[in-house]
Structure 1
């Protein structure tokens, strides 16, 4: 297949320092390209675009159901992406063709594969994706977008039914990779990584994942149609683009919830990590991060040294949403209850003008200054009170934020 750049869209924080709080939806027409974890579906004027950049997710309250099938009462699960037929069948009406079948994953295909469930505490939601065990003591590889915004993560070894709490060791959002550590895990079965050259065009491969967040591992067989592919992912909130390159392209019925799961070759070895898939067409084209590239990032994370793209652990968290820049500082659009910002007395409409004596003139500047700190650090904030116009100042201890 000829190499071509593909544009996808990824959900992102809507101006929230240190956390994903608001959910951005994009409406449009025709066939979409999406990161293949969970899905959000926005419908405008009869046209539908599915954003599968987050795992299978559901919301309640103001964000939940906005564009969902049960949106009238503000609750309910946002609909999923391209449907998948029952195991062992194909379903043309559900977005697959007769050449793209799925089956329940075999015992051999399930070895080392886990399901990942997260709590999105600051957006009132939850998510589900897939991961793979790298070490017997519980290092798990998944996609960054599977855990983005998470305030709590649990991982289940589906072959045994054991569930573990998980923490984030590190992430690389630009490469869509995250490394987790399972608490008190030992003696786990691990996946087998490919050791003989990776995937080539024409190879038979199988994606194994937590299809539609159902908690049952499903296998989607297909064929490699391209290697070293590139696609550009743009955030739905601000349009900033990120490019994923070196991807494996394959034809298989990948759906929401499969993200972070292994793509196996005909020897049962992992050649890639499912990360994206087309939606809205009659045939699904999927994409995987090459396992060699992912392992290189894992090794960087394990070194404990941050880079321009690698974040070790959790970000520091202030707990404010940011509005349109005024030119005089970072405008506070909202404050999350129970966060350091709330304790300091910040309220909507205030304008943050300094951090530790360094002037702040924009939201970007505030984000950069706070991004240089770790959870537990104390900073001195200066702001202009929205009601009185007076200058306020307070020492604030930054909290542990959700996965950035």
Structure 2
């Protein structure tokens, strides 16, 4: 049975499977206090220390005519924010409110790693923001007391505390995005027993020393979570902070790769799902978008872009992540009869991710 994953409100991710992996966490060299496994966590005191370095993220999803909400972690006083990619995916506008100062900012995406569900956004004209204390996730142990903090339910205001304990390490889940048809395998996750809610995505998972040891990314609840609490015993998943910070450093440095996209998102104006015989089948075509202007219609199957095979919706998404607005693309397309043709499409700037 598919389990719901907490995502930004209005953005549906589903867990299709979750199982432990055998590998241990890596230490990326962060120094900090020893594991807080023997330390009693005072939720009120910890929240008071961490809350000022949290932001509430609200996005407009222009193509869907919807809105979404999530959470972010302040990395620098001038407004570099760490969050989940799925919190900002599909956004045509991003507004961010600092808990520490009460100010609201416009933000843009610096870059993202879709496969690891990490993004960095930059607030415009920000300064003097309180920053988070970053811990060392390699010291986390099963049984540690933790606290999740975030924009629970997308309601805004002060972060809602979700105390709990670490129940497993090095967990893997497959999260699928209902809007794009793509999926990603998230590995090495910290699993916790805590009431993580929709809207908490991108928020900090902290230890008893008020250090961030993870980025909340998902919660399995057995039903589609839509702004409701998961209930007692809910299972949450967080990306270890060492892993998240390493990716964030690459993004800020502008180091693009097959996994990391820097800058604006290329857009051809289609939504796709896995084709029955392979490829990415076009479900919808955006009116007056690049694909429609090139003659692409719903039902066609995109099998390659610039000669790179797109054997699934996820593969198409991954190939598009290597491109930017303005790129000239050659799409190899099959119709219902199996006949192939090539279409020339110029990518434009589109919604994030």
Same fold, judged at TM 0.5 (above) = yes
Q: Is the 8 A contact 1:333 1:349 kept in 2?
A: yes
For residue 140 of structure 1, the aligned residue among 54, 68, 81 is: 81
Q: 1:235 to 1:37 in 2, by over 3 A?
A: closer
Contact 2:100 2:129 in 1 (8 A): no
d(CA) in 1 for partners of 2:161, 2:234: 14
1:220 matched to 2:170? The reply is no
Correspondent of 1:260 among 190, 202, 206: 202
| Residue 185 (str. 1) matches residue 134 (str. 2) | no
**Residue 275 of structure 2 contacts residue 301 of structure 2 at CA under 8 Å; is this kept in 1?**
no
Q: Say if 2:352 is the partner of 1:403.
A: yes
Structural mapping, 1:1-400, within 5 Å: 33-38=3-8, 106-194=47-135, 198-216=139-157, 217-226=159-168, 228-235=169-176, 242-280=184-222, 282-322=232-272, 332-348=282-298, 370-379=320-329, 396-400=345-349
Q: How far apart are the structure 2 equivalents of 1:51 and 1:321?
A: 16
Aligned length: 314
Question: 1:93: which partner in 2?
Answer: none
Q: CA deviation at 1:106?
A: 4.8
The Cα shift of 1:108 comes to 2.5
SS of the residue 1:298 aligns to: helix
Once the 2 structures are TM-superposed, how far is the Cα of residue 197 of structure 1 from its aligned partner? 5.8
CA contact (8 A) 1:153 1:166 kept: yes
CA distance in 2, matches of 1:221, 1:146: 22
Is there any run of 5+ residues in structure 1 with no aligned partner, and where?
Answer: 1-27, 42-49, 54-100
**Separation in structure 2 between the aligned mates of residue 271 and residue 320 of structure 1, nearest angstrom:** 37
Q: What SS does the corresponding residue of 2:352 show, helix, strand or coil?
A: coil
Q: CA deviation at 1:360?
A: 8.1
How much has 1:136 moved relative to structure 2?
0.9
| Contact 2:10-2:66 at 8 Å conserved across structures | no
CA gap 1:330/1:264 in 2 versus in 1, 3 angstroms: closer
How many angstroms does 1:170 deviate by?
A: 1.4
Residues 8-33 of structure 1, C-alpha deviation per residue, up to 9 Å, x if partnerless?
Answer: xxxxxxxxxxxxxxxxxxxx5xxx64
CA RMSD of aligned residues (A): 3.9
2: CA distance, partners of 1:168 / 1:284: 31
Would you say the 8 A contact 1:129–1:209 is kept in 2? yes
> What CA deviation, in whole Å up to 9, does each residue of 1:44-76 have, x standing for no partner?
xxxxxx9678xxxxxxxxxxxxxxxxxxxxxxx
SS in 1 for 2:201: coil
Cα offset, 1:104, TM superposition: 11
Structure 2: how far apart are the matches of 1:265 and 1:361? 42
* CA deviation after TM superposition for structure 1 residue 196, in Å: 9.0
Q: Rate the CA distance shift 1:262–1:332 in 2: closer, same or farther, 3 A.
A: closer
- 1: CA distance, partners of 2:43 / 2:297: 51
Distance across 2 between alignment mates of 1:353 and 1:252: 42
Deviation at 1:362, TM superposition (A): 6.6
Q: Structure 2: which 5+ residue stretches go unaligned?
A: 16-41, 223-230
| Residues 163-222 of structure 1: per-residue CA shift (max 9 Å, x gap) | 111111111122221111111212211111115964223332211110110102111122
Could you say if the C-alpha distance between residues 338 and 137 of structure 1 is closer, same or farther in structure 2, counting changes exceeding 3 Å? farther
Provide the rounded CA distance (Å) in 1 between the counterparts of 2:13 and 2:316: 29
Cα displacement (A) at 1:262:
0.8
Deviations 1:291-340 (A, max 9, x none): 11111111121232222322222331110234775989976543212422
Q: Deviations over 1:263-302 (max 9, x none)?
A: 1211211111112223156412222211111111111212
